[in-house]
Amino acid sequence: MPTTFEHEGRLGERALKAVVFSADEIAARVRAVAAEITEAYGPTEDLLVLGLLKGSFIFLADLVRHIHLPLQVDFIVAASYGNQRVSSGAVELLYDPGAAVKDRAVLLVEDIVDSGTTLERLIPLLEERGPKSLDVCALLHKRLTKLNREPRWVGFDAPPAFLVGYGLDYSEHYRHLPYIGSL
């Protein structure tokens, strides 16, 4: 497993401190979470899996391939980091899902729960739209704060480091790594 990532361009070579979760660990955990989700929702449920972009896209793609139920996928885009390593605290909604939420089982898929600011902003917005149910699945949870609604499913408890890879980025870089590392 590489411990450095070479990127030609403005970042140059930036050493990763450590691989936190390997590609094999992630794949096994995604399959286990998908099995739990499959069991929780019945085959007649009108399930909408709503990915929070951009960070969740790889996790969401792998997750839905292992959920053995009929479902629909859509996305929502919110930003709170910009080019920083710390959340600004302000959540900007950049894209609203096109799929109807009303009277549906909605599963919001998040890459990482850090400050919780994004979820605290999005959950009330989605609840106003009248879903039958609304659950959250997060790949990573840092457990830094108590949320009004904790994710029902969590892939891994995450260390307090700045993490990249498997969809997570630093200034739009590192998303493509097949593992999660710390900068």
Look at residue 172 and tell me if it is in a domain.
no
Range of weakest confidence among 7-16, 27-36, 91-100, 107-116: 7-16
Whichever domain contains 130, its CATH number is: 3.40.50.2020
Residue 169 CB burial class (10 angstroms; 0-12, 13-18, ≥19):
middle
Cis peptide before 142 (omega within 30 of 0): no
Confirm whether 118 is domain-assigned. yes
Q: What is the pLDDT of residue 91?
A: 66
Tell me, yes or no, whether 13 lies in a domain.
Answer: no
Tell me what pLDDT residue 112 has.
95
pLDDT (0 to 100) of residue 166? 97
pTM of the full structure: 0.85
Q: Is position 181 within any domain?
A: no
Nearest CA-CA partner of 117 in 151, 96, 145: 145
pLDDT at residue 77, as a whole number: 87
How many whole angstroms separate alpha carbon 59 and alpha carbon 111?
Answer: 7
State the pairing for strand pair 92-95/180-182. unpaired
Supply φ then ψ for residue 42, to 5 degrees.
-80, 165
Pick the closest to residue 112 from 161, 55, 41, 33 (CA basis): 55
What does the pLDDT read at residue 5?
A: 46
- Domain of residue 127, residue span: 22-81+88-162
Domain count, the chain: 1
> What are the strands of the beta sheet with 105-113, ordered from one edge?
92-95, 71-79, 47-53, 105-113, 133-141, 153-157
pLDDT at 97: 76
Tell me, yes or no, whether 5 lies in a domain.
no
Residue 114 annotated in active site: yes
Tens digit of pLDDT for each residue in 28-50?
999 999 999 999 998 888 899 99
As a whole number, mean pLDDT of residues 140-162 equals 94
Higher pLDDT, 35 or 3: 35
Q: Is the pLDDT of residue 20 over 50?
A: yes
Query: What is the model's pLDDT at position 180?
Result: 96
Catalytic entry in 114, 135, 157, 169: 114
User: What distance in Å separates the CA atoms of residue 2 and residue 15, rounded to the nearest whole number?
Assistant: 10
Confidence label for 178 from pLDDT (cuts 50, 70 and 90) = very high
Q: What mean pLDDT do residues 137-161 have?
A: 94
Q: Does any domain span residue 8?
A: no
Q: Of 3-7, 132-136, 141-145, which gets the smallest average pLDDT? A: 3-7
**86 has a pLDDT exceeding 80:** no
Residue 105 placed within a domain:
yes
